[in-house]
Structure 1
Amino acid sequence: DPLLPFYTEYGSFYTNSITEWSAVLPEENKGQIFDICTKNNYESVAIIPIRAMDKLIGIIFIASKKKNMMPLDMVLTLEKMATYLGVAIERVQFREALFNEKELLDITLRSIGDAVISTDSDGNIVLINNVAEKLTGWIEKEAIGRHINEVFHIINEETRQQVSNPVEKVLATGQVHGLANHTVLISRDGTEYSIADSGAPIYSRDGRIVGVVIVFRDITKELKTEAELRRISQLESLGILAGGIAHDFNNFLTAILGNLSLARLYKNEEEKDKRLEEAEKATLMATELTQQLLTFSKGGLPIKKLSSIKNLLKDSTEFALRGSNVKPIFSIQDDLWNAEIDEAQINRVIQNMVINADQAMPEGGAIWIDAKNEYIQEDQIYSLSAGRYIKITIKDSGIGIRREHLPKIFDPYFTTKQKGSGLGLTICYSIIKNHGGYIDVESEIGVGTTFTIYLPAGSESISHEKLELDLELTKGKGKILVMDDEDFVRGLMEEMLKNTGYEVFTAKDGLDAINLYKQEMELNRSFDAVILDLTVPGGMGGKEAIQKLLEIDPNVKAIVYSGYSNDAIMSNYKDFGFKAVIVKPFRIKELSEVLYKVINDIIE
């Protein structure tokens, strides 16, 4: 207190006689200073505080055994010195704190499992940790100062095109940005890593963006594991379904063979036609089952198209419950939105859920499948952005799942079944996640289990054409070349085409077809159309044959047909030079219509 004797305005204490000072000081206030001075026979004493940012961090203590050795001007000089000392000590402490913080940051960055790269506001690298060094192939001293695009080279795995760097997006928007799926980092030595990453802005104290930090990790092994899990889960589910499928195929074959046998016995044309019609219906039902099997067996990342969830739900559920004593009960909104999905993968999810529900009710029961449109608000459901969604619930009245098992239900290899790998729900989770959706489960022992799925809705409608039995043929004229490796298929195609008005030539593989086409063309007896089987084991198939035929005749009118409806050529046939496509099996009506349109150039 500067108003009291022996104190300066700065707060320093000084006296030129401890004896005089102690004489006016109450006994209870003498304290430690008096004790020190009495013990050492000090008479002149000065204590000057050293402050930093108004905080006491030390003192200057000067003492003499002589009196009158502490004049005020000396004390004031010492106070100035204390001010300089405070600033100096503060700087030293700040440097030490900064050094310790930097050392801690370096240790942290080198200890974490993720790769980290920081840049300045121009995108030039200022920091790179050891994990990032390993993945990019650039060591720190070489990377510092280089632009991020030189070191962090990323492409789209499917298109092989360069992906825009997250640093640019963050600097432009000031927001956190992540990489899209299928992003690959190409290391300095050419090694490729599938990565997941995010970039975030670095702000200064005044709120300016002064740089960007990118955090990324190698997910190559994770993606390979997911792919393997999908394959294993697919085989497991197919094994469960095999009994029901065999049962249904035998029923269809029984209907086909039985009706054909009866048709051969009947002499009445009306009775013959009726039996043949029944055989054709059974064949179409078997065809539908085959298509579902092909869809189910298809794997890989989502290949999306606008699809009807309503139809998929019913078809997938009924397919999974073939031969089961469990009954499906549907409650589906009439105007249910469509969705951009990979039908095969969502089909797999639904079937897996239904199979699990079926297995939870060995004595039989019911499965309730509900679907409705729902608007989701921001932050309403974890990981879902605001928008339109289709909510699907699959509920059973089975044995249920224990509460302690629910958090692990989507973990790989976790299962409560005596049989099974515990991969099915992991695959379901992965598929829904890759579709931008959400999946959750609720269960109670003895009551049952409910799975809830949210899928983003599409914005377009789908037109559907109902397939009906129609014996009316579209007849035409022309010279047709059919290539197929199976003798009985070639014979059948020849009879079908002759009955619709065409002259038919056949070849057993692509090479024979090319030679025959070339021969007839040189004799000015060109074919009006060519029908090529896509796959010929051990020989040239339709894919290779069409390229050779286009070289011979750029105007060739070729149709591709196959039982492999999931082959890329079947869905993108025009890109390979074909005019149309037919999926096996097919009826003579479908064949005649497609051929007529191709020959007469009325294909859409």
Structure 2
Amino acid sequence: MQMNILLIDDSSAILTLIGDYLKKLGHGVLVANSGSDGITMIEHDFPDLVITDLSMPEVDGFEVLEFIYNDNPDLPVIVMSALDNPNDIIRALRAGAWDYVIKPIEPLDIIEFTIERVEKKLELIRKNLEYKNNLEQMVEERTNFLNIVLNSIGDGVISTNKLGDVLYMNPEAVRLLGYSLEEIEGHNLNRYFKIFNSKTSKEEVSIINKVLNGFKEPVRLNNIVLVGRKGDMFQLSSVATALFSEDGTLIGSVLVFRDITDEYELQESLNHKNKMNSMGVLVGGVAHDFNNMLMLSGIMGCAQLLKAPKRSLTDDNLKFVDMILKSSKQGADLVKKLLIFGHKGKTMLLFF
């Protein structure tokens, strides 16, 4: 790897010696004979690598390291120090130096070897950064895809932490509750998710509390009515599931619920129609039997026979017979209406 290397040392001889060697290796070389000049060149010439002596007058190598750490901490630095100052090397490494060489530098191949170690570290950092960026991109893509899925499904979805505080709501949940995520994020869901039994109208125990208090299996709750922010009521079917980390620790819950108001009302209407149909069939059957009692073989038939001349009934008795016939006719008209009702009920029953 060809690099643009900045050498910082107050010794012109060392700058020339190391500079010529680095040029032979194919590197570009910048030189500074003081720490202050080196800092200036770092700011304006943007070297790929800095090799600096630690012991210099005025601005020494430690100040150069401090500047690099604050201004460009990713810039690799190799420090040079005399053999009798090991504590300086330790201090420099703690201050951010990547590697070091001991003066006097003999042979100069040590410089090449040290630069190669820095290059390997740079390559490792580059690969790690590339992997991190790819991983972040993959996570972002999957997160976006998951958000699209959650935002597109027709069910309401709410997730909470282990305390029941809201972390996420999809658009359908926002529609049903009447609250935006920004309004209730971080607040306990039970304050907003008010549900009642659709049969008894009694308030139901929070389904979220059940899964957060030890239910490891999904908890289903049907026949419930959700009262939204504006008083709107929605018939729901719902299921809540506890969320666990890989080590089995409870971390939260997810609630999925569906608005089945239209289906519920349709089913109630069908149930009512079926009841009416059954009643119609029953009424029709009773009316049919009653009609048989009224007709020729029944009450009306007998009354007609009583009016025959050979019966020789008195006028008073004939009046009673006429009353029977009149009442029977009224009963027959009523039976006719009941038969029509019963016939309709039977027809509807067969149709459905």
TM-score (norm 1): 0.31
User: Following the alignment from structure 2 to structure 1, what is the Cα–Cα distance between the partners of residues 149 and 206?
Assistant: 25
How far off is 1:209 after superposition? 2.1
The alpha-carbon distance between structure 1 residues 121 and 250, as it changes in their structure 2 partners (threshold 3 A), is same
> In structure 2, what is the equivalent of residue 19 of structure 1?
none
User: Following the alignment from structure 1 to structure 2, what is the Cα–Cα distance between the partners of residues 253 and 161?
Assistant: 52
> In structure 2, what is the equivalent of residue 601 of structure 1?
none
User: Following the alignment from structure 2 to structure 1, what is the Cα–Cα distance between the partners of residues 273 and 170?
Assistant: 37
Corresponding position: 1:178 with 2:220: yes
How far off is 1:44 after superposition? 7.8
User: Following the alignment from structure 1 to structure 2, what is the Cα–Cα distance between the partners of residues 158 and 236?
Assistant: 23
> In structure 2, what is the equivalent of residue 199 of structure 1?
240
How far off is 1:257 after superposition? 5.1
**Identity across matched positions, percent:** 29
Corresponding position: 1:189 with 2:242: no
What do residues 381-410 of structure 1 show as CA deviations (whole Å, max 9, x unaligned)? xxxxxxxxxxxxxxxxxxxxxxxxxxxxxx
> In structure 2, what is the equivalent of residue 135 of structure 1?
176
Secondary structure of 2:174's match?
Answer: helix
2:215 alignment partner AA? T
How far off is 1:422 after superposition? 7.5
Query: What does 1:136-535 align with in structure 2 at a 5 Å threshold?
Result: 136-171=177-212, 172-181=214-223, 183-236=224-277, 244-251=285-292, 424=352
1:196 alignment partner AA? S
Secondary structure of 1:206's match?
Answer: coil
How far off is 1:233 after superposition? 3.7
> In structure 1, what is the equivalent of residue 132 of structure 2?
91
User: Following the alignment from structure 1 to structure 2, what is the Cα–Cα distance between the partners of residues 90 and 422?
Assistant: 68
How far off is 1:160 after superposition? 2.7
Selected match of 2:142 from 98, 101, 119: 101
What do residues 320-359 of structure 1 show as CA deviations (whole Å, max 9, x unaligned)? 9xxxxxxxxxxxxxxxxxxxxxxxxxxxxxxx9xx9xxxx
User: Following the alignment from structure 2 to structure 1, what is the Cα–Cα distance between the partners of residues 350 and 120?
Assistant: 77
Count how many residue pairs are aligned between Structure 1 and Structure 2.
215
How far off is 1:98 after superposition? 2.0
How far off is 1:227 after superposition? 1.7
The alpha-carbon distance between structure 1 residues 138 and 231, as it changes in their structure 2 partners (threshold 3 A), is same
Query: What does 1:555-570 align with in structure 2 at a 5 Å threshold?
Result: none
**Cα pair 1:155 1:163 within 8 Å, conserved:** yes
> In structure 2, what is the equivalent of residue 482 of structure 1?
none
Secondary structure of 1:145's match?
Answer: coil
The alpha-carbon distance between structure 1 residues 228 and 142, as it changes in their structure 2 partners (threshold 3 A), is same
How far off is 1:228 after superposition? 1.7
How far off is 1:82 after superposition? 1.6
Query: What does 1:30-109 align with in structure 2 at a 5 Å threshold?
Result: 71-109=112-150
> In structure 2, what is the equivalent of residue 111 of structure 1?
152
Instruction: Structure 1: state its 5+ residue gaps.
Output: 1-12, 14-42, 46-67, 262-292, 298-319, 321-351, 356-418, 425-604
User: Following the alignment from structure 1 to structure 2, what is the Cα–Cα distance between the partners of residues 422 and 256?
Assistant: 31
Structure with more of its chain in helix, by fraction: 2
The alpha-carbon distance between structure 1 residues 252 and 146, as it changes in their structure 2 partners (threshold 3 A), is farther
The alpha-carbon distance between structure 1 residues 208 and 242, as it changes in their structure 2 partners (threshold 3 A), is same
1:87 alignment partner AA? N
**Cα pair 1:174 1:209 within 8 Å, conserved:** no
Secondary structure of 2:217's match?
Answer: coil
> In structure 2, what is the equivalent of residue 476 of structure 1?
none
The alpha-carbon distance between structure 1 residues 165 and 104, as it changes in their structure 2 partners (threshold 3 A), is same
User: Following the alignment from structure 1 to structure 2, what is the Cα–Cα distance between the partners of residues 225 and 154?
Assistant: 21
How far off is 1:223 after superposition? 1.1
User: Following the alignment from structure 1 to structure 2, what is the Cα–Cα distance between the partners of residues 252 and 166?
Assistant: 60
1:96 alignment partner AA? Q
User: Following the alignment from structure 1 to structure 2, what is the Cα–Cα distance between the partners of residues 422 and 97?
Assistant: 58
1:174 alignment partner AA? K
> In structure 2, what is the equivalent of residue 310 of structure 1?
none
2:177 alignment partner AA? T
User: Following the alignment from structure 1 to structure 2, what is the Cα–Cα distance between the partners of residues 133 and 248?
Assistant: 59
Secondary structure of 1:173's match?
Answer: coil
User: Following the alignment from structure 1 to structure 2, what is the Cα–Cα distance between the partners of residues 212 and 159?
Assistant: 27
**Cα pair 1:232 1:423 within 8 Å, conserved:** no
User: Following the alignment from structure 1 to structure 2, what is the Cα–Cα distance between the partners of residues 178 and 422?
Assistant: 35
Corresponding position: 1:123 with 2:175: no
How far off is 1:256 after superposition? 8.6
The alpha-carbon distance between structure 1 residues 76 and 185, as it changes in their structure 2 partners (threshold 3 A), is same
User: Following the alignment from structure 1 to structure 2, what is the Cα–Cα distance between the partners of residues 138 and 223?
Assistant: 24
The alpha-carbon distance between structure 1 residues 421 and 44, as it changes in their structure 2 partners (threshold 3 A), is farther
**Larger Rg, first or second structure (1 or 2):** 2
**Cα pair 2:278 2:349 within 8 Å, conserved:** no
User: Following the alignment from structure 2 to structure 1, what is the Cα–Cα distance between the partners of residues 222 and 152?
Assistant: 27
Instruction: Structure 2: state its 5+ residue gaps.
Output: 2-24, 28-108, 304-337
> In structure 1, what is the equivalent of residue 80 of structure 2?
none
User: Following the alignment from structure 1 to structure 2, what is the Cα–Cα distance between the partners of residues 82 and 160?
Assistant: 68
TM-score (norm 2): 0.51
**Cα pair 2:157 2:256 within 8 Å, conserved:** yes
User: Following the alignment from structure 2 to structure 1, what is the Cα–Cα distance between the partners of residues 146 and 273?
Assistant: 43
Secondary structure of 2:160's match?
Answer: strand
2:218 alignment partner AA? V
**Cα pair 1:229 1:423 within 8 Å, conserved:** no
Query: Which of the pair has the greater relative contact order for Cα pairs under 8 Å at 6+ separation?
Result: 2
